Structure 1
Amino acid sequence: MVDLSFFRQMWHRIQEDDVPALAAQLAYFLLLSLFPLLIFVVTLVPYLPISELDILAFFDDYAPGDSMELIKNSLADIMRKDGKLLSFGLIAAIWTASNGINAIVRAFNRAYRVEETRSFIVSRLMAILLTFAMIFVFLVALLLPVFGKEIGGWLFANFGLKEEFITVWNTLRWLISILILFIVFLGLYWIAPNKRLSCISGVPGSIFATGGWVLVSLGFSYYVSNFANYTATYGSIGAIIVLMIWLYLSAYIIIIGGEINAYFSEKKEGC
């Protein structure tokens, strides 16, 4: 017989912590953080063997079509501006991008029933460092396919299996993206809460968040592409609505992952 106590407890935690409202707050800060984060990453492109298209392609795998057009057009408009002004704005971009991490920290602290006792400077520095860590992991996710495909193609070509490699690589590309997502979530669940945790304690929520985020993103993207027409309903702001809904669903998944980790942490402490 299936033990339903876990689901009852999770439902209780979602209501008690007001997860829908927290997800709405987090989605707002993620929206404010998204473009500064992309601006910072794009400024690194001249120093890396990747292009702006590689960066956008990473999001294109998951983001709904209308929101991707908004991201592409907005990023193109920003990058056409004065490069010097853009360079001076990098510090502000990182500061703004770290607001998303700060919102995640607040949501996780509520899940673990702890107060934020770290000073403003310490908490902000942690958010900035986590932002840089996410940028680093994101760049690794972009570079692995570039070098992996070149190295794999060269090795398989020596054995006359280059065509077979293309099929295998298309599968590996998805697995690499999922692994990178898992690492990002694990780092957030381990470091962000104001509580001493082991790295392994973040695994249950990371598994849920990775699988849930991929499935929800792909499902919502399919729904928007085939059934919904937000442009007809909302006009020119339809793409913004789609992006906000996607970020809200993403935030909901991330927070529930934190609630799952907090549940198992409390259960372990109660043993």
Structure 2
Amino acid sequence: MRTLWHRVKKGLHFAHLLLKRADKDGLTLLAGHLAYVSLLSLVPLIAVVFSLFALFPVFSDISAQLKTFIFNNFMPATGDVIQRYLEQFVANSSKMTAVGTCGLIVTALLLIASVDSVLNKIWNSKTKRPIVFSFAVYWMVLTLGPILLVASVAISSYLLSLNWLSINGVHSVIDHTLRVLPLLISWVSFWLLYQVVPTVRVPPLDALVGALVAGSLFELGKKVFALYVQLFPSYQLIYGVLAVIPILFLWVYVSWCIVLLGAEITVTLGEYRSLRRLQSSDSAALSVKES
């Protein structure tokens, strides 16, 4: 019983440190900033991503599947409406000149740079990467990220198309396994985000804990948010056909709150350990002094 109470006290202490740190960093304000930048960068980012897909003919067959996967798993409740509008915007962007295309790329990179700045602010990192190195990292995220996502969708489609999977219910097992693919992608993505973006060293296990919490909350948040939009259609009643705008902004804001919460958890884990070590050393020193 004493051990259980001790663990509860440690958990409450950690939660107190986490909330205090999140309030100090202004988590909700940072999430609002990233949500605003995200909305400005959303169309350019998607335009750049699907333009990259067009450069690889091997991805053309699964482009439609990828679009459905992205909008169903990252934009709940209004994914079909948003997809329709964004496809129109992306189609219009394909008619732009070279200067306009460069502008799209710069705007898309602006979002990645903002995420980099906010996360390093949470980690209190004063170290600045060289501009060339930062640009290389941003460009790698912009290119390799979509390619890895395409690869995961392609592998899923290939596995489901194999004939032997229909034998003895194996197809059903694989199908249920692939249903957790979005959750696995969320965990891996958040872990890479917390591990790679900060300019300070982040313990891999701390990043993993933050990623597991953030990824799980993100997947749960999608379902809760979709249910909220269905049960409380106040936005549709007030805004009508424009309801997709506040709904999209609200979801993007909630998403960034979850992302930054995972970052705060990752940072607080290290600070909590340091505080515990300091308290232990103080207690040991006091014991020696009393003896």
In the superposition, the TM-score normalised over structure 1's length comes to 0.86
Q: How does 1:179-194 map to 2 (within 5 A)?
A: 179-194=184-199
Q: Tell me whether 86-95 or 43-52 shows the greater mean CA deviation.
A: 86-95
Matches of 1:47 and 1:86 in 2, distance apart? 26
Which of 7, 21, 30 in structure 1 is aligned with 2:29? Answer: 21
Q: Which has the larger radius of gyration?
A: 2
State whether residues 206 and 266 of structure 2, in contact with CA within 8 Å, keep that contact through their aligned partners in structure 1.
Answer: yes
One-letter identity of the residue aligned with 1:52: A
Task: Report the Cα offset of residue 118 of structure 1.
Answer: 2.2
Unaligned runs of 5+ in 1: none
- Counterpart of 1:124 in structure 2 is 135
Is 2:120 the counterpart of 1:109? yes
Aligned partner letter, 1:187: L
Alignment partners' CA distance in 2, 1:239 and 1:86: 29
Deviation at 1:140, TM superposition (A): 2.2
> Once the 2 structures are TM-superposed, how far is the Cα of residue 177 of structure 1 from its aligned partner?
1.8
Equivalent pair of 1:64/1:225 in contact (CA under 8 Å): no
1:251 aligns with 2:228: no
Counterparts of residues 88-99 of structure 1 (less than 5 Å): 91-99=102-110
More divergent stretch after superposition (45-54 vs 106-115): 45-54
Alignment of 1:205-224 (within 5 A): 205-224=210-229
Instruction: Give the counterpart of 1:50 among 53, 62, 74.
Output: 62
Indicate conservation of the 8 Å contact 1:62/1:218, yes or no: no
Match of 1:178 in 2: 183
- Displacement after TM superposition at 1:229 (Å): 3.3
Matched, 1:135 2:140: no
Deviates more, 1:214-223 or 1:258-267: 258-267
In the superposition, relative to structure 1, how do residues 70 and 166 fare at CA in structure 2: closer, same or farther (>3 Å)? same
Contiguous gaps of at least 5 residues in structure 2 = 278-291
Amino acid in structure 1 at the alignment position of 2:142: T
Q: How many residues align?
A: 264
1:267 to 2:272 alignment = yes
Report the Cα offset of residue 83 of structure 1: 4.4
Taking structure 1 as reference, are residues 104 and 233 closer, same or farther at Cα in structure 2, changes over 3 Å only? same
| More helix by percentage | 2
1:167 pairs with 143, 150, 172, which one?
Answer: 172
Q: Which moved more, 1:199-208 or 1:243-252?
A: 199-208
Given the alignment, which residue of 65, 69, 72 partners 1:60?
72
Instruction: For 1:188, give the aligned amino acid.
Output: L
Kept in 2: contact 1:186–1:202 (CA 8 A): yes
RMSD: 2.4
Asked if 1 retains the 8 angstrom alpha-carbon contact of 2:71 and 2:83, the reply is no
Give the whole-Å Cα distance in 2 for the aligned partners of 1:110 and 1:101.
Answer: 14
Tell whether 2:51 aligns with 1:40. no
Per-residue deviation, residues 122-174 of structure 1 (Å, max 9, x unmatched): 333322222323222222232122112123xx2224xx33xx34432432222
Q: Percent identity?
A: 22
1:155 to 164, 169, 183: 164
Q: What TM-score do the two structures reach when normalised by structure 2?
A: 0.81
Contact 2:165 2:171 in 1 (8 A): no
